[in-house]
């Protein structure tokens, strides 16, 4: 994976930095794994705007991703590595030995023609999905389940990874991308390797119009609103706005919103970095 800085032949390209998609092998998705995706524009079923700054954007089809990796023991060949408009990471199309096709989130180093497999007592190689009880300690993992059979929910974004630190009783100790260290059941699955497209964080849009292609409308700063619209609005001239807080009055910048009585608190060993 590499980045390209464009020549400034237009104002929008002056600062733009893009990935060169050298890993992507095809631009045509698998039709049987596509689903339609409706756009709400931030409106609910009454047509009332409940989420601001959403709307427009390019039309997308949803790619049905297999986050559960539950075809245990059936080898699959990587047919293509593809771009997915619905996520930051690339996806891989798998052809299973029994003829079924599935998309998965691609890991760094996954190549077309590579054979991967999921299940018990599988080799801990890139792209393979194993139970945490079978993965060697210190291994870099991604696409981790939080509850057995739930499907991957942790470390799915581009370039993210976690590390398996230890095993104790029925739990594994995993260090997550946020820096949080927590217990996860050994019967949960994870995929070996780092999620693909790690250069995603270095991409520069170059112009405001690209945000509109992605369905993001311009955001109004709270400090320029009126008091009726936001707690930070109002005042004569350019007022500072006071303590930063949300539209609902919840303070930002360090205010903890996690419940002190949340059941999963006992599984967190080290809190995430501030």
| Structure confidence at residue 274 as a pLDDT band (50, 70, 90) | low
User: Could you give the CA distance from residue 256 to residue 246 in angstroms, rounded to a whole number?
Assistant: 13
220-274: which CATH number, 3.30.930.10, 2.60.40.10, 4.10.950.10, 1.10.340.30?
4.10.950.10
User: Could you give the CA distance from residue 175 to residue 194 in angstroms, rounded to a whole number?
Assistant: 14
Tokens for 270? 């080290």
User: Could you give the CA distance from residue 144 to residue 186 in angstroms, rounded to a whole number?
Assistant: 11
| Structure confidence at residue 2 as a pLDDT band (50, 70, 90) | confident
| Per-residue model confidence as pLDDT tens digits over 99-155 | 999 999 999 999 999 999 999 989 999 999 999 999 999 999 999 999 999 999 999
Looking at domain 3-201, its CATH class is mainly beta
Distance of CA 5 to the CA centre of its chain: 25
Whether the predicted pLDDT of 14 surpasses 90: yes
| Structure confidence at residue 273 as a pLDDT band (50, 70, 90) | confident
Q: Where in the chain is the domain with CATH 4.10.950.10?
A: 220-274
pLDDT value, residue 98: 94
Q: Which of 125, 103, 117, 113 is nearest to 73 (CA)?
A: 117
Cβ-proximal residues to 262 (8 Å cutoff; 6+ apart), any chain = none
Whether the predicted pLDDT of 1 surpasses 70: no
pLDDT value, residue 194: 98
Q: Where in the chain is the domain with CATH 2.40.50.140?
A: 3-201
User: Could you give the CA distance from residue 142 to residue 188 in angstroms, rounded to a whole number?
Assistant: 12
pLDDT value, residue 125: 95
Cβ-proximal residues to 164 (8 Å cutoff; 6+ apart), any chain = 132, 135, 136, 137, 138, 139, 141, 172, 173, 174, 190
What proportion of the chain, given as a percentage, has pLDDT over 90?
96
To which H or E segment does residue 103 belong?
strand 101-105
pLDDT value, residue 89: 97
- Give me the mean pLDDT over the 199-223 stretch: 95
């Amino acid at each position: 994976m590499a980045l390209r800085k464009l020549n400034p032949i237009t104002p929008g390209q002056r600062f733009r930095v893009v990935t060169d998609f050298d890993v992507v092998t095809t631009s045509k998705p698998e039709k049987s794994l596509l689903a339609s995706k409706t756009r709400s524009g931030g409106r609910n079923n009454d047509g009332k705007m409940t989420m601001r700054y959403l709307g427009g954007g390019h039309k997308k089809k949803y790619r049905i991703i297999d986050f559960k990796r539950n075809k245990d023991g059936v080898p699959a060949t990587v047919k293509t590595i593809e771009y997915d408009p619905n996520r930051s990471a690339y996806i891989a199309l798998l052809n299973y030995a029994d003829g079924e096709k599935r998309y998965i989130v691609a890991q760094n180093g996954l190549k077309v023609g590579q054979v991967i497999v999921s299940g018990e007592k599988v080799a801990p190689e890139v792209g393979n999905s194993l139970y945490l009880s079978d993965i060697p300690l210190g291994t870099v993992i991604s696409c981790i389940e939080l509850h057995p059979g739930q499907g991957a929910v942790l470390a799915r974004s581009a370039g993210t990874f976690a590390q398996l630190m230890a095993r104790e009783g029925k739990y594994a100790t995993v260090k997550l991308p946020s820096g949080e260290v927590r217990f996860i059941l050994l019967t949960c699955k994870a995929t070996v390797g780092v999620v693909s497209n790690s250069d995603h964080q270095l991409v520069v849009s170059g112009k405001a119009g690209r945000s509109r292609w992605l369905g993001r409308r311009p955001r109004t700063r709270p400090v320029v609103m009126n008091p009726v619209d936001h707690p930070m609005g109002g005042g004569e001239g350019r007022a500072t706005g006071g303590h930063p807080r949300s539209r609902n009055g919840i303070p930002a910048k360090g205010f903890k919103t996690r419940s002190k009585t949340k059941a999963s608190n006992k599984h967190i060993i080290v809190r995430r970095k501030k």
